Chains A and B, each alone.
Chain A
Amino acid sequence: MALSHLASSSPSRSANLLKPLSSVISLRRPISTDTTPITVETSVPFTAHQCEAPSRTVQTNAKELATFFRDMVVMRRMEIAADSLYKAKLIRGFCHLYDGQEAVAVGMEAALTKKDCIITSYRDHCTFVARGGTLLEVFAELMGRQAGCSKGKGGSMHFYKKDSNFYGGHGIVGAQVPLGCGLAFAQKYCKDEAVTFALYGDGAANQGQLFEALNISALWDLPAILVCENNHYGMGTAEWRAAKSPAYYKRGDYAPGLKVDGMDALAVKQACAFAKEHALKNGPIILEMDTYRYHGHSMSDPGSTYRTRDEITGVRQERDPIERIRKLILSHDLSTDKELKDIEKEVRKEVDDAIAQAKENPVPEPSELFSDVYAKGLGVESFGADRKEKNSHGRHLDNTRDDPSGEVIIGLCFHNPLPA
């Protein structure tokens, strides 16, 4: 990368190649492996409630910044592509896009390990990718195909990834927070030294169950971090019209809180690392991520009836998370503009390839309609005039007791081996 444009500017190629590299190149190694520490200040200092704010000086390095850049570009491109697919009716149902909020997902991931759990609401595509999900899994799930992360049965709002402890993808706002606190309890009980990040929005912040969960977590010192992704609008309702106190980081009252610039990936990383350490020692803490979504609430919402276009373009110009990292990379001379654009082109192709692959993927088998309702299937015949009840293995239950393990009873009666 770096060598090519130097070689073309010097008259004698072979002479340059003989000189030690450090004197020819301006001390720049390929960006993706450089781990020399760089110190950066966050955009704004943190605001703290009932605790001492972490420093706004963040340690990072070229490799991390490159990862942030690439990951956010992938997420941005993925969400825009999902927008087009939805308009082309390849994605149906509901689709809630995360573009603008990418810094929260990447910053959080940088501070965590895969042993830590993340649980969020329905705006989950990018969080899933940050946890290691592939683009194919994303697009296949959005289009309801077998290769999707939830086998095509969940759709946009229900992405999960068990091996990275990503507990998804929930439709009912606020319901995921008590669940998250339960995960934290299990982690504490099993002495995992890991924490749970339970994400919710400014709209969900007014749900009663959050306060129930917070009280329990604080009472029992659970390593739960409640993260309010405050994009300032609950669907179409501005935060000041829904909440008496839009200072969500303070709403924990007895629980400490931190307000973070959610458009600054490094600030998010710093805050999450701080929160993890705090939660492991002292119990729950609330993080409020001040972020913004460019799209409306969902694909059915233009997003411009309750916000001005000026506001949206203003945020895009002043606070865009990808642009911030790009500026950091360029100002620290870690890469060139062309290289970054090449990454974007590469990502675009990756996304297009994943979409093409997902389009070829088949929809789930009809038997999937009945699978996973219970641990062992229970279903009703979907066609035919007689409509006898069948279990998912196709046996009629009218001669056996009607219970989910009817199949086991049949097995025992006829000396068949028990199913695994």
Chain B
Amino acid sequence: MALRNIIGKRIGNGIGLVGRRSLSTSTSDVENRNAKSMNLYSAINQALHLALETDPRAFVFGEDVSFGGVFRCTTGLADRFGKARVFNTPLCEQGIVGFGIGLAAMGNRAIAEIQFADYIYPAFDQIVNEAAKFRYRSGNQFNCGGLTIRAPYGAVGHGGHYHSQSPEAFFCHVPGIKVVIPRSPRQAKGLLLSCIRDPNPVVFFEPKWLYRLAVEEVPEHDYMLPLSKAEVIRQGSDITLVGWGAQLSIMEQACIEAEKDGISCELIDLKTLIPWDKETVEASVRKTGRVLISHEAPVTGGFGAEISASIVERCFLRLEAPVARVCGLDTPFPLVFEPFYMPSKNKVLDAIKATVNY
């Protein structure tokens, strides 16, 4: 995926900063010094190295993280920071997250890895009932803001039912946690560092298809990207497309093809799903009058539904066409039928044309 490297102003320290919401024209808000070409898992690896380097009370744990993890995101951490800070857990997601909450409650940065997002459900109770509500129910006496849960999510071409799921919608329904999804290596490093240093519990979903596939120039220094701030990664005037993670590259291809038919598409990367940047999306829809949301998760109850409802609420009179959603089908993630299930470029393109010609 080609992303322009524009040297832009580095945005402050980014923690919880939600101000300055101009229509960003830069695709990069990070200085580009000492940038090195690397893929997604290397970028995440760098972020973790920096997180542990800068905070002596940061820990990384999960299944098989010690040798580097099944996707190599945790390579070198155990050797560098020792077994007391980087360690394997037994096969128990509920235990991992509960343990992480406790660790975070004592003021540490607990970076827990769930090996595949498909396995996160045993920990669902801990995340929803414990992590999300800790600060609230203790009247701010306690909190587990130091908790970050990382999990690879999404289709990978042959993952089948239990190695391809996109469960972000379940977590978006829980006030008290944040859900963040990066689209590329450079974004992932900055966003992950922000998530780790954010004083709220965060679930960070990493698009596993891009671990090796996405290669980009990533600055080697410590930088953070702001949470709850969406980014316009492609300017347009006819229709707004909203997405996150690996799906953005599919959408970008559809935008390029639509351009050949004279349709000018604006593409927005949401980055943080909750709390999401309604203002940026709204501003874009006010410009274009049309919106299309796309995600891999099944369409019914997917996060696209929330975006659709909010936009209709805010921009009803401005809308020229119904809000379109191009998403996964309402079936379990299939095995041989994956190409049929996925919201492919052609489906997105079809929907762009239908919406523009409504």
CB of A303 closer than 8 Å to a CB of B: no
A386 close to B160 (CB less than 8 A): no
B312-358 at interface with A (beta carbon < 8 Å): 329-332, 334-337, 340-341, 347, 350-351, 353-354
Q: Does B161 lie within 8 Å of A379, measured CB to CB? A: no
A94 at the interface (CB under 8 A from B): yes
CB-CB nearest in chain B for A389: B330
Contact with B along A161-175 (1 / 0, CB 8 A): 000000000011110
The 8 A CB mask of B142-186 against A (1 = contact, 0 = none) is 000000000000000011111100000000000000000000000
A172-B119, A369-B331 as given contacts; A92 in contact with B158, CB under 8 Å: yes
Q: How many residues from B make CB contacts under 8 Å with A?
A: 36
* Residue A370 is within 8 A (CB to CB) of chain B in the complex: yes
Contact A209 B335 (CB under 8 A): no
The smallest beta-carbon distance between A25 and chain B, in angstroms, is: 53
Interfacial chain B residues near A209, Cβ < 8 Å: 122
B90 within 8 A of A: yes
Q: B67 — which chain A residues lie within 8 A by C-beta?
A: 236, 305-306
Contact B331 A93 (CB under 8 A): no
**Which of B88, B92, B118 contacts A207, CB < 8 Å?**
B92
In the assembled complex, the CB of B96 is this many whole angstroms from the nearest CB of chain A, namely 11
A153 within 8 A of partner (CB): yes
- B237 in the interface (beta carbon within 8 A): no
Q: How far is the CA of A366 from the CA of B88 in the complex (A)?
A: 42
In the bound assembly, the distance between CA atoms of A364 and B338 in angstroms comes to 12
Chain A residues, CB < 8 A from B337:
153, 364, 366, 368-369
Task: Report chain B residues within 8 Å CB of A100.
Answer: none
Within A309-335, the residues touching B (CB, 8 Å) are none
Contact B330 A378 (CB under 8 A): yes
Interface centre among B64, B161, B332 (most CB of A within 10 A): B161
CA distance in complex: A83, B159 (Å) = 18
Q: How far is the CB of A351 from chain B (nearest CB, A)?
A: 22
Q: What separation, in Å, do the CA atoms of A384 and B349 have in the docked complex?
A: 10
Given A203-B91, A208-B92, A380-B299: A157 and B160 interface contact (C-beta under 8 Å): yes
Interface residues of A in 192-250 (CB under 8 A from B): 203-204, 206-209, 234-237, 241-243
Q: Is chain B's interface secondary structure helix, strand, loop, or mixed overall? A: loop
Interface 1/0 per residue, B207-235 and A, CB below 8 Å: 00000000000000000000000000000
Chain A proximity of B157: nearest CB distance (Å): 8
Q: Within 8 Å of chain B (Cβ to Cβ): is A410?
A: no
* Given A153-B334, A380-B329, A387-B351, also A94-B163 (CB < 8 A): yes
A379 B351 Cβ-Cβ under 8 A: no
Identify A373's interface contact among B121, B122, B331, CB under 8 A: B331
| Contact present for A379 and B330 (CB under 8 Å) | yes
Assess whether B63 is interfacial by the CB under 8 Å rule: yes
Q: Are B64 and A172 in touch, CB under 8 angstroms?
A: no
Q: Decide if A1 is an interface residue (CB 8 Å cutoff).
A: no
Interface size on A, as a range, is 35 or more
B residues 106-156 in Cβ contact with A at 8 Å: 118-119, 121-122
Chain A contacts of B340 at CB under 8 A? 366, 369, 382
- Is residue B301 within 8 Å, beta carbon to beta carbon, of the partner chain? no
Cβ A241 vs Cβ B88 within 8 A: yes
Best-buried of B118, B299, B335, B340 by chain A (most CB within 10 Å): B335
Is A385 an interface position by the 8 A CB rule? yes
Q: Is B94 part of the binding interface, using a Cβ–Cβ cutoff of 8 Å?
A: yes
**Contact for A237 among B64, B161, B347, CB less than 8 A:** B64
Q: Is the CB of B122 within 8 A of A173?
A: no
Within the complex, what minimum Cβ distance (angstroms) separates A387 from chain B?
7
Residues on the B chain within 8 Å of A235, using CB? 63-64, 70
Does any Cβ of A come within 8 Å of B82's Cβ? Answer: no
The verdict on A154 contacting chain B, using a C-beta distance below 8 Å, is: yes
B160 partner, pick from A93, A305, A387, beta carbons under 8 A: A93
A152 within 8 Å of B (CB atoms): yes
Contacts of B95 in A (CB 8 A): 206, 208
Closest to A203 in B: B91
Interchain CA distance A316-B304 in the complex, whole Å: 54
- Bits for A121-132, please: 1 = Cβ < 8 Å to B, else 0: 000000000000
Within residues 138 to 173 of chain A, which ones have a CB less than 8 A from any CB in chain B?
144, 152-155, 157-158, 171-173
Q: Is A189 an interface residue (CB 8 A)?
A: no
The smallest beta-carbon distance between B167 and chain A, in angstroms, is 13
- CB of A206 within 8 A of CB of B92, answer yes
Query: In the complex the two chains form, is B330's CB within 8 Å of A380's CB?
Result: yes
Are B336 and A363 in contact, CB atoms less than 8 angstroms apart? yes
The docked-state distance in angstroms from the alpha carbon of A384 to that of B351 is 8
- 18 cross-chain CB contacts under 8 A: A93-B160, A155-B335, A155-B336, A171-B160, A171-B161, A172-B119, A173-B91, A206-B92, A237-B63, A241-B88, A243-B90, A364-B336, A369-B331, A369-B334, A369-B341, A380-B330, A382-B347, A386-B354
A sample of 15 more A-B contacts (CB under 8 A), given A144-B335, A235-B70, is: A94-B160, A153-B337, A173-B91, A203-B91, A206-B90, A206-B95, A207-B92, A208-B95, A242-B90, A305-B67, A369-B341, A370-B331, A382-B340, A382-B347, A383-B350
Q: Which 10 A-B pairs have the closest CB atoms?
A: A171-B162, A385-B354, A144-B336, A206-B90, A92-B158, A369-B337, A242-B90, A203-B91, A155-B335, A93-B158
